[in-house]
Structure 1
Amino acid sequence: METEEIIRAQKLIDKMNIGDKKCLKEIYGSEWDDISDPRNFGKLFKNALSENVLTKIKHLGIRSTGRCDEYIRI
């Protein structure tokens, strides 16, 4: 992820309530339409999370009711 993407992602994470469970599309809301390659962006987001570039969020796994990775605000 580029620096501006990291800053935007962290701001959106910070706006979430602790305990909220969301997929990336739900985290980004209307801004999700600005993502040109959602699949690749999802990989970059998950990598940034595993490298501790993004904080206050944890990957829960694939949601059972749909094909998206679910995250929880911690």
Structure 2
Amino acid sequence: MTYAKVSVEQSLGGIFPFDQLPATALETLASGSQMLRYRIGQPMLRRESMPYQLIVILAKADYWATIPTRERR
């Protein structure tokens, strides 16, 4: 299996609408992001550790989703 390390900035830069962002905005977004990979059937979220907001970007998809997970306090 071949593995190539790709930065968050490079990955987001190839996906609409992130490819429309100015370079500085993309850098800012990427610096606060983390790439994760999950196996089939592996839970992505657990009720006891839900973040305020989650963005899921599906690889090779033409869309992305923002999922609000709970009310801000």
The one of the two structures with greater contact order (alpha-carbon pairs below 8 A, sep at least 6) is 1
The higher radius of gyration belongs to 2
Instruction: Tell me which interval the TM-score lies in, with the shorter structure as reference length.
Output: under 0.3
TM-score (norm 1): 0.27
TM-score (norm 2): 0.27
